Each structure stands twice: as structure tokens, then as C-alpha cells.
Structure 1
Amino acid sequence: MAPVSDARETYRVLDLALRIGEILLSSGAGAADVTATMLGITEHCGLRNADVDVTFTLLRMSYQSDPEEPPVLLTRNVAQRDIDYDDLTRVQGLVNDVMRDRVDVAEARRRVAWINSTDHYLPPSAAVVGSGVVGGGIALILGGGALVTATAFLAGVVITVLMRRLNREQWPMFYQQIAGGLVATLLALATTAVADRLGFQVSTSLVITANIVMLLSGIGFMGAIQDALSGFYLTSGARIIEALLATAGLIAGVSAGLAIAPALGVSLVGVRPGLMELAPPPLVLLGAAISACAFAFTCYAPLRALPAIAVSTLAGHLGYLSVLQPSAAMPWAAAVAAVIIGMLSYSVAGRVRVPPLVVVVPALVPMLPGLTIFRGLSYMSEGDTLGVLQLSAAAATTIALAAGVILGEYVAQPLKRNARRLEHGLAGPRLVGVMHGRHLTRRTRGTSAGA
């Protein structure tokens, strides 16, 4: 498009880019993807060399048409809301239409407003049940039996309902995590007490671990590492702080629940929440596929994406299990799995018409080191230096997952581009938004990297 000189039209273009960036960032997209998309839209609409700043809670864009004219500056706060992969997919389609000149700026702004104003395509109860299925799937990965899996399912449902209620009342995330950890632990202790009276042997540590999986912050840590690898250190630091506070709240809630154990007649001898031992490979694969698809379902992913997510999850976990040996380092197994998922997701996502992010994140959920992070902070809260080793292992695994996905995208994206004879300029792998780099100049890429 021709360069834009009218201040009102400049405002419309910047507003469109900001609203699209807000949806992307609040839906879990990395700062690099958000920046690339916002810059790609503004440049395509005639605003050359616009300035963009992306942080965890704020988006800012400005454009100066002439050195002697004041710049047009717009900012937008990023509201915390439920992740909606259906909205993300619709925004991806809108971005594609804008870049192909299928819609003008006015129509694009109307479509963004419609996306923001529509409700989820699933009722809230469906997402609540999906959260329970996620917990049940993780329980299978950890080798839990029928009772443990059923308890994890119930805990996932109850905790999700509780967290949504507290969120509507605007409770801070730290206190929400305390409440969730307390409820998860009390459910686990009650299950153990009932099982003991009925003559069943149930591991209290395993039940608690399975119950708290929905509260773990592995996704936040992985997103932080991805932003750091992309050069967005401010956003990365904010995500790390949020994840640490969420984990600290979870530890406080679990500790409060364990303090009530004697009153329920449950012995705490040998109890170590966060203990993780994998089940036999067939159960691991089944639990991983179930939990990944259920997580995508709770995030309102289009139903057509679930088979692609299951295939990517199974392929990634096959690679993970083939490398994971008692004498091998876990981060290497995670890296191999992430590379496989990164390569597959870019290919299969296009076939089901969803952004690769919709496939990547759910496929990685079963491997996220949330339990290791929980154990590390728990040990440190007790003054045990083993916590440092646990956090180091969690950091290594998180870096391996984030770097592996990016590497997989680097490998898959040029291959797919060459196969379809697409452009030769590449700004780097993208999981959502503007998927190719021809819309970004060297100058705009350098400007955005400092966010």
C-alpha cells in the first residue's frame, strides 16, 4: 500500500495493530510474534518504520510521518482473560486477509471488534470438565490407578470452578493459588483417608501431585524463556516473576493443607508432594495425548485441531521416551521431543487451518517441568539446598523445550517455504501472526528487539 499521511488514517492503522497484538499477547503468543505481527500490519498498510514496544501488560505504537510533525502515539493495556485459541485462530485468519489485501482497515477493525465481543464457542461447563480430564491424563502419566485418576479429575473440576469464582471477584493470583493448593491437598488427604479405611494402599504423595497439576506454572516459565531467547528480556522477567509468585502461592496452599493431615488421621511419613515417576510407556503416551487434547479443549481450540495436537504429542513423547534413560540428562530428552513437536506443528497446523501455537503449547504441556519447579521451591522454603539443584534442572528442561521448539520451527519453516516456492527473506520462525519475514525491514526488526 502507499504511505499513509493522514493523521486519522494513521490512528486507525495503529489501533488495528494494537488490538490484534492485544489478542495475541493475552492468548499466550510470544513477544517476538506479537511485535512481528504489529510491525507487519502497519508496514503493509503504509506506515513505514513504525515504533513498537511490547511488555507483559502494555502495548505501545507510535508513528511519525515527518520529522517536523508530532508523532501519533497509542497505547493499550493488555487485559488478563481466558486463553481462547478460537479467537486466536480467527485473528490469524484476519491477519492473513489483511496481508493479502482481502479486507481494508475499516473492515479489519470491525472484525477485531466482533472477535473481542463474542463469547467462547463452548459453554463454561465444557471447559471445566476439560480441566478435570487434563488432571486425569497427567495422573495416568504419573502411574496413578483408577482412584488416583478419578481424584485428579475431581480436583481439576473443583479447582477450576474455585479459581474462576475468585478471579471474578478479582482476587490476586497469589491468593488464588493458595486456595487451589489447599483444596487440592485436602481432596488428596480425604481420598487417602478413605482408601486406608477401605484397605487400599494409595500413595499420598502421588495423589497430591496429581491434584496440583492444574495449578503448576510450567507454561509461564516456558513463555518467559522463549521471550528471553527472542531478546525480549523485560517481558521475560515479568513472566518469570508471575510464575514464581504463582508457584509460591501453591506451595503455601499445599503446606496449609498438610498441616491439617493429623486431624484427618493421615500419616505424613514419607510424603513428598511433587514426586514424579513415569508410568510404563503405553500409559505415558495415552495420558500425554489425553491431557494435551483436553488442555487444548479447555483453551477453546477449534475441534478440528485436536487430531493434529494428538499426533504431535504422540510423536514428541515417542522421541522423549526413546532418549530418556536413567543415565541420560532429562533436558536432552525434552529438547529432542520439542524439536519433533516444533517441526510437526508447523506442518500439521496449516492442514487444519490453525496457528502453530495452538498445536505447540498443548503438545508440550505434559512435559513442562512444573513439578520440578514446585519441588525446587518447596525444598528451598525448608532450607534444603537440594532446591537449587531442582530449580537448575527445571530451568535446563524449560530452556531445552523452548529452544527445541524454536529450532524445530527454524528447520520446518524454510523447508515448507522452499517446497511452496515462497519468499526467500526470513525473519525467524513464527508461531502465530505474520508467518513470514518479507514484511519486516532490518530497521524495524532492530527497533523491536529492545522491548
Structure 2
Amino acid sequence: MRGVAAESLDARTLNLTLDLSLRVGEVLLSSGAGAADVTATMQSLARHLGVRHPEIDVTFTSLSMSHQADPGEPPIVQIRQVKQRDIDYDDLTKVDRLVTAVLTDEIDLVEARSRLAGIVSSGHGSPRWLVTGAWGFMCAGVTLQLGGSLLVVGLALVAAVLIDRVQLAMARRRLPTFYLQVAGGLVAAVLATGIAAVVPDVDVSLMVTANIIMLLAGIGFMGAIQDALTGFYVTASARILEALLATAGIIAGVSGGLTLASVVGVEITNVDPGRAGWVGVGMLALGSAVCAAAFAGATYAPRRSILPLAVVASLAILLYSAVREASDSRVWAAGIAAFGIGLVAYGVAGRVRVPPLVIVVPAIVPMLPGLTIYRGLSLLAEGGGSTSPGLLALVQAASVAVALASGVILGEYVAQPLKREAARLENRLAGPRLVGPLRARAARRR
């Protein structure tokens, strides 16, 4: 199909090409990809298949694509609605490889459509209970980061499992996400109430904090800021509104559970999510690695990517901790750590054959400002004499989110030309070598 002009395509082929591009964009957008990446992928795919200069519009809930071969003829317009937005890095990786196969002329339009249909219609090799366990281990990793004891780590794991099963049952009844978040916060607070009644000495604040981070981890903070930085303001606004609404649901659930505790006469005085501090370097790195790896498992990331991204996450949190201690600036620490993630994610993703997004998002999850957003909205909801603390917390959360997104994007911008220059240097140095990257040259000679 290379070099075929859209004017020479028959109407059926043109429609199938637009439909393929839209379906690919739908999978990418629903899995958390930024609108700029979705648009660029759809543009490349359509252009390679012979459609020159299509008009593409990507929003949070829909994608549209049109082409007008001649000004005197009516344009062909197709629209797809994004009905499901569950992060699925397995499908994302398969679709990314499908696009690469099309762009390298390994498969044609018909085969690409057939493979895409198989990807979106087939299930996963891993049973659903493994995802539930992964969410539990993610909470355990967060609790390790916050310095919790083994008992608190275990309680956070159990609470996360219960939250996931409750949310899964509600999702099957097609309840909106807001109510799922309310239920998740309520389960966390009620369980904390029960534990405080039985074992008063346990710090249930850490358990609730870990559960809140789990509930906020799947929300598209990164995608929202990336869309805003790349000029897709409508999509960015919708994602931010979704994040704020989901956070409001968590606040409602947790406050409801604490109210229930006071009604039944259980006193919980130490539940203050967001104030827990971090611990030693070793536990910080271990907790971050477990958190990132478990989040990747919960979002169906390919297994070959889990260990590398866990290493990236642990190194990033150590860099974050070092910069924050040296500069006393959380924003600069987040930006520099995110830049490091973006810088290495491009190469790591190429090694394990996944899109860089699969490496970047899990590695950044331990540094997401979800708790700061929660705390800011909680302070605003409480009211009182002044709203300044709540607004200050929200501004700080926004600053950290922008630093994370901009740092990752800048790291990707720097990494891509560096990789190209490294490949050119490798070509110039090709020959008998005792050490160095030999695999690429050997593959080209076959």
C-alpha cells in the first residue's frame, strides 16, 4: 500500500482504512495514551495505507476521522465512541506491534483488521484473581514505602483485595466510577474501624493511605497533564475532571466510614491520610519496586516488562529522595526523577518490546500526588475558617503532576535522538569487536 494516493483508493478500502485507524486509536486512548500519541499513530497508519491528510479529532469520549478526496465531493466521516477506559497494557502492546507491522509492510490492511479484531475480542491469559492479588501487593508496596509494620502491610493487602472484589462486582452491574470509588473508600474506612476496635495500637492510617493510593493509581493524571502540555485542552480538562470526581468519591467513602465508626462508638484518632512520612532508603526502594511491579501486573503489562520497570521505579524513587533531601523541593525532585524515567524508558521499552508508556506509568505511580489531591479536596470540603490549606495542597499536587509529566516528556525527547546517534555510531564502528552491541549488526547481515 506504500505510495498509494487516497484518490486511487476505492470507497470500500478508504472506509476500511479509516475504520482501522479509529479502532487502533480507541484502544490506545482507552489504555491511557495521550491524545497527541493517539493522533500521531492514527495519522501514520492512515498515511501509510494511502490516505493523505485526514482530519483527526480526539477527545476524551470519542474519536472522529474524515477525508475529502476532492473539494467538489462530500467528505467521508467516521466516528467512534470510547465506552470503556480500563487500562490494559497487554492490548496496548499488541496494538502497538500491530501498527509497527503495518508500517513495515509485514501485513496488509485485511490482515491488520483481522488481527485487531482478535486482540480486542480475546481475553487474557492471566485469571482475574491474579489482578486482585496484584492490587493487594501494590498496597503492600505502598505501605512498605510509608514505613508500616508487617501487620499493617498484611492488613493493607487484605483491604485492597476486598476493595477490588467489591468494585468488580459493582462494575459488572455497570455502576458509574464515582460510586465504585465511594464503595472503595467506604470499605477501607470500615475495615480500619474494625481493626481499631480489635487492635487499638495498630496505625490504621497507613492502611487507609495505601488503599487511597490504590484507588487513585488508575486515574489518568499523567495522561491529563500530557494532553494539556501538547495542546489537547478539551481532553485534558475531561481527564482532570474525572480524576477530581473520582477523588471526591473516595473522600465521601472514607468520611462515611469514619462517621460510621463514631456512631458505633469506635474512636479512630490517627486516620490522617497524606501525613505519613517515608522511611529508610532500602525500604523506600523495595516498596517502590513492589508498588510499580504490582501495578503493572494489575494492568496486564507483559510479564517480560515487570522486572525492568521495577528496577527503573526503585532507581527513580532513590533519585527523587536524594534530590528532595538536597534541595527541599518536591517539585524539582519529581521533575528530575521523571526526566530520568523518560530518559531510560525509551531504551528499556525497546529491549523488552513494549511501548514506553508501559514502563513510564508504573514507574511513576509511587510518586503520583494522589494523596495531596485527596488532602486538598478534604480540607476544602471541611470548610472552616479558611480554604487556604486546601488550595495550597491542590496547587502543590498540580505542580508535582506537571513536573512528572513534563519531566517524562522531556526525557523521551532527549532519549530518541540519543538512540539514533548511538545507532549511527554503532554502524560506523561495525567490524570485529570483543565487546559492544553486536546483535543489531549481525541481524542485518543475515
Q: TM-score, normalised by structure 1?
A: 0.90
Residue 365 of structure 1 corresponds to 365
- Return closer, same or farther for 1:271/1:308 CA change in 2, 3 Å cut-off: closer
1:137-216 equivalences under 5 Å are 137-196=141-200, 201-216=201-216
* Deviation digits for residues 380-429 of structure 1 (CA, Å, limit 9, x no counterpart): 0011421101001100000000000001101101111222249xxxxxxx
Q: Which letter maps to 1:9?
A: T
Residue 444 of structure 2 corresponds to none
- For residue 204 of structure 1, report the CA deviation from its aligned partner: 3.3
SS at match of 2:404: helix
- For residue 270 of structure 1, report the CA deviation from its aligned partner: 5.0
- Residue-pair matches, total: 418
Q: Are the equivalent residues in 2 in contact too, given 1:218–1:368 (CA < 8 A)?
A: no
Residue 29 of structure 1 corresponds to 33
Residue 254 of structure 1 corresponds to 254
Structure 2: how far apart are the matches of 1:103 and 1:85? 22
* Deviation digits for residues 313-348 of structure 1 (CA, Å, limit 9, x no counterpart): 122112111111286110111111101111111001
Superposition RMSD in Å: 1.5
Q: Which letter maps to 1:334?
A: A
- For residue 263 of structure 1, report the CA deviation from its aligned partner: 4.4
Larger CA deviation: 334-343 vs 324-333 = 324-333
Structure 2: how far apart are the matches of 1:192 and 1:42? 59
- For residue 218 of structure 1, report the CA deviation from its aligned partner: 7.3
Structure 2: how far apart are the matches of 1:418 and 1:79? 41
* Deviation digits for residues 65-117 of structure 1 (CA, Å, limit 9, x no counterpart): 11111111100011214322111111111111110111110110001100011
Q: Are the equivalent residues in 2 in contact too, given 1:152–1:210 (CA < 8 A)?
A: yes
Residue 288 of structure 2 corresponds to 288
* Deviation digits for residues 95-144 of structure 1 (CA, Å, limit 9, x no counterpart): 11110111110110001100011001211011011110011110111111
Q: Are the equivalent residues in 2 in contact too, given 1:35–1:52 (CA < 8 A)?
A: yes
Structure 2: how far apart are the matches of 1:326 and 1:155? 36
Residue 389 of structure 1 corresponds to 392
1:25-424 equivalences under 5 Å are 25-196=29-200, 201-216=201-216, 219-325=219-325, 328-383=328-383, 384-421=387-424
* Deviation digits for residues 196-242 of structure 1 (CA, Å, limit 9, x no counterpart): 2xxxx222322321232211257422221110001100000000110
- For residue 278 of structure 1, report the CA deviation from its aligned partner: 0.8
Q: Which letter maps to 2:357?
A: L
* Deviation digits for residues 262-284 of structure 1 (CA, Å, limit 9, x no counterpart): 34543233542332311211111
- Return closer, same or farther for 1:421/1:42 CA change in 2, 3 Å cut-off: farther
* Deviation digits for residues 14-56 of structure 1 (CA, Å, limit 9, x no counterpart): 0110010011011111101000000001111111110000000
Structure 2: how far apart are the matches of 1:25 and 1:308? 24
- Determine which structure has greater relative contact order: mean sequence separation of CA pairs < 8 Å that are 6+ residues apart, divided by chain length: 1
- Return closer, same or farther for 1:299/1:269 CA change in 2, 3 Å cut-off: closer
- Return closer, same or farther for 1:57/1:375 CA change in 2, 3 Å cut-off: same
SS at match of 1:212: helix
Unaligned regions of 5+ residues in structure 1, if any?
A: 423-451
Structure 1: how far apart are the matches of 2:275 and 2:35? 33
Q: Are the equivalent residues in 1 in contact too, given 2:338–2:364 (CA < 8 A)?
A: yes
Structure 1: how far apart are the matches of 2:218 and 2:82? 21
Q: Which letter maps to 2:59?
A: T
Structure 2: how far apart are the matches of 1:335 and 1:162? 36
Structure 2: how far apart are the matches of 1:98 and 1:420? 23
- Return closer, same or farther for 1:58/1:100 CA change in 2, 3 Å cut-off: same
Q: Which letter maps to 2:411?
A: G
- Return closer, same or farther for 1:178/1:266 CA change in 2, 3 Å cut-off: same
Unaligned regions of 5+ residues in structure 2, if any?
A: 426-446
Structure 1: how far apart are the matches of 2:419 and 2:372? 36
Q: Which letter maps to 2:73?
A: E
- For residue 161 of structure 1, report the CA deviation from its aligned partner: 0.8
- For residue 290 of structure 1, report the CA deviation from its aligned partner: 0.4
SS at match of 1:122: coil
Residue 429 of structure 1 corresponds to none
Q: Are the equivalent residues in 2 in contact too, given 1:17–1:38 (CA < 8 A)?
A: yes
